[in-house]
Structure formats: structure tokens, C-alpha cells
């Protein structure tokens, strides 16, 4: 394995040394994390491209230990992948909105998959409260947002109502300092 974390090293389904497939298992209990595990998570949250050698040096552990811990955190589904943080505006997605959806209670399971297929839907959450589903949608312009809301979402079976909140400004998320 190279010192850089690569796409190959985090591929879902890649068996780990323990024979456990990568990815979360809903039937499995929460993994107990120690201080080093939490430090690994904090370092990788701040810089997901951090070389394993640099990670080991920062945490004062051996590279072998760092590799073993990373493999365990990935195989147990604690680390689910690595990705880039994208500035939506610079990527051509200048209109962002949160869309709250009220649905018929029996339609969530089928609707969940349908919502993930709609273009520009970045995040889908089942929530408790006055609404049932919260979407984060990023589109190139208002016309595209209109299409998502009026043509695609409201056409889904089981949607009772939608409410759209435009996002005027966003601040980048802050990585947790400690886990």
C-alpha cells in the first residue's frame, strides 16, 4: 500500500485484513474509538489527502499502526470515503436551496430512492417535526430550481407539499476539533 490514501484503498466492498467488507452494517454496534482513532478522524477531516506517513508522524505512531487503524476504521464503516470539498458557485451551481417536503407516511421508502435520482439534489434527510424530508439542492440558476421543485418533486406520488428556502450565503463547515 502506498503512503497516499488512494481511491483503491477506500473502495466499498474491498475486504480488509479482518475479512470484513467496507461500508456500514446497520446491524453492527457502534465502534469504540480511542484517543488515537479520534485524532486520526480529526486529521483526515482537516485534510483527507494527508499521506499515511505524515499522519503517523503527526500522531507519533508507526506507519504500520496508522495503516491498521485506517483499515479498521474503513472496514467498520466509521470512515466511509474520501472526497473533495467543492465551491458550488465556482462549479456553476449558483442557486442553492433547502427544500422541506411533507409526504404521505407510507411513501418514504419508495420516495427516498426517487429523490436521489433527481438532478441537483445533493443531500436527502428524513427528519422529525413539521416536515418529513429535507433536501439540499444546488442548481445552475433559478429556472433549474423551479424545474426541480415544480416539475420533479411535486410530480412524485406521495408528496403533499413543499417549502423552499433559498440560501443567500454559506460559510464553509468547520471540522470538529475533537471526536
Determine the pLDDT at residue 27: 59
In 3D space, the residue among 53, 56, 63, 27 whose CA is nearest the CA of residue 40 turns out to be 56
In 3D space, the residue among 63, 53, 75 whose CA is nearest the CA of residue 9 turns out to be 75
C-alpha cell at 57: 508522524
Determine the pLDDT at residue 135: 97
Q: Measuring CA to CA, how many Å separate 117 from each of 81, 121, 166?
A: 21, 8, 21
Residues 6+ apart with CB under 8 A from 134: 98, 99, 100, 101, 123, 124, 125, 127
Is residue 139 within 8 Å of residue 93, measured between CB atoms? yes
- Tens-digit pLDDT string for the chain (179 aa): 444 443 333 333 333 333 333 344 555 677 899 999 999 999 999 899 999 999 999 999 999 999 999 999 999 999 999 988 889 999 999 999 999 999 998 888 788 889 999 999 999 999 999 999 999 999 999 999 999 999 999 999 999 999 999 999 988 776 566 65
All structural domains of the chain, each given as residue ranges with its CATH number in brackets, are: 8-75 (1.10.10.10), 95-167 (3.30.70.920)
Amino acid at each position: 500500500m502506498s503512503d497516499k490514501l488512494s481511491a483503491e484503498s477506500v473502495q466499498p466492498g474491498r475486504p480488509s485484513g479482518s475479512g470484513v467488507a467496507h461500508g456500514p452494517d446497520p446491524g453492527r454496534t457502534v465502534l469504540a474509538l480511542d484517543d488515537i482513532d479520534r485524532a486520526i478522524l480529526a486529521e483526515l477531516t482537516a485534510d483527507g489527502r494527508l499521506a499515511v506517513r505524515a499522519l503517523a508522524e503527526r500522531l507519533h505512531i508507526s506507519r504500520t499502526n496508522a495503516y491498521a487503524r485506517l483499515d479498521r476504521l474503513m472496514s467498520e464503516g466509521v470512515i466511509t470515503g474520501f472526497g473533495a470539498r467543492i465551491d458550488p458557485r465556482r462549479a456553476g451551481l449558483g442557486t442553492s436551496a433547502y427544500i422541506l417536503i411533507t409526504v404521505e407516511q407510507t411513501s418514504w421508502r419508495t420516495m427516498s430512492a426517487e429523490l436521489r435520482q433527481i438532478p441537483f439534489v445533493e443531500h436527502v434527510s428524513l427528519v422529525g417535526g413539521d416536515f418529513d424530508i429535507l433536501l439540499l439542492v444546488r442548481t445552475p440558476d433559478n429556472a433549474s430550481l423551479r424545474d426541480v421543485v415544480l416539475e420533479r418533486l411535486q410530480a412524485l406520488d406521495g408528496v403533499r407539499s413543499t417549502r423552499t428556502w433559498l440560501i443567500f450565503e454559506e460559510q464553509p463547515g468547520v471540522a470538529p476539533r475533537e471526536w
